[in-house]
Amino acid sequence: MNIIKTEIPGLLVIEPKVFADSRGYFFETYNSNVFEQHGLNYQWLQDNESMSNYGVLRGLHYQLNPYSQAKLVRVIAGEVLDVVVDIRKGSPTFAKKFEIILSSENKRQLLIPRGFAHGFSVLKDNTIFSYKCDNVYNKESECGINIFDETLAIDWRLPLEKTIVSDKDKVSPSFADAKNNFEF
């Protein structure tokens, strides 16, 4: 596994070592020893999976402390534009966004620490998105930031008329008005 630091503290891209031959391929999606060697001491408590078609936008979601979640995300089938925003007050990269293509072809993963809003746009039909969380879901602490927030100006790489957004995500507050109890 190749663990790559991004310009945002704590946010990591993980590239697996893929062993491919005429039968197909094999790779480790997670190895606690490798993570611990890099000082990444996570205890994953919940695994989630979603299937979405082209045009779906999900996010930007997070849970407030003490129910916040770190996530290890990847795409099993298809392709997404994965986007995170640093919402940790006092962070040198506060309000900075990070974007990465995650796909079944590149097999990259993104390790998202607590204190980030997370979302993705689906770029291929029948995309299966998987993620591990280090805390269980807590509905009362769930929050979001509007995916079309003008200050974030995220290019979701989809034509607006093709986007499919949940009613809940359509009414999420702006970045400036979103609830936030994260400190760097």
Task: Give the phi and the psi of residue 138 in degrees, each rounded to 5.
Answer: -135, 105
DSSP per residue, 114-179 = SSEEEEEEE-STTEEEEEEESS---GGGEEE--TT-TTT----SS-GGG-EE-HHHHTPPPTTTS-
To the query of whether residue 131 is one of the catalytic residues in this protein, the response is: yes
> Active-site residue 118, yes or no?
no
Which one of the listed residues 25, 61, 62, 67 is annotated catalytic?
A: 61
Catalytic residue among 25, 42, 131, 137: 131
Bridge partners (DSSP) listed for residue 71: 112, 133
How far apart (Å, rounded) are the C-alpha atoms in residues 119 and 154?
Answer: 11
List, by residue number, the catalytic residues.
61, 131
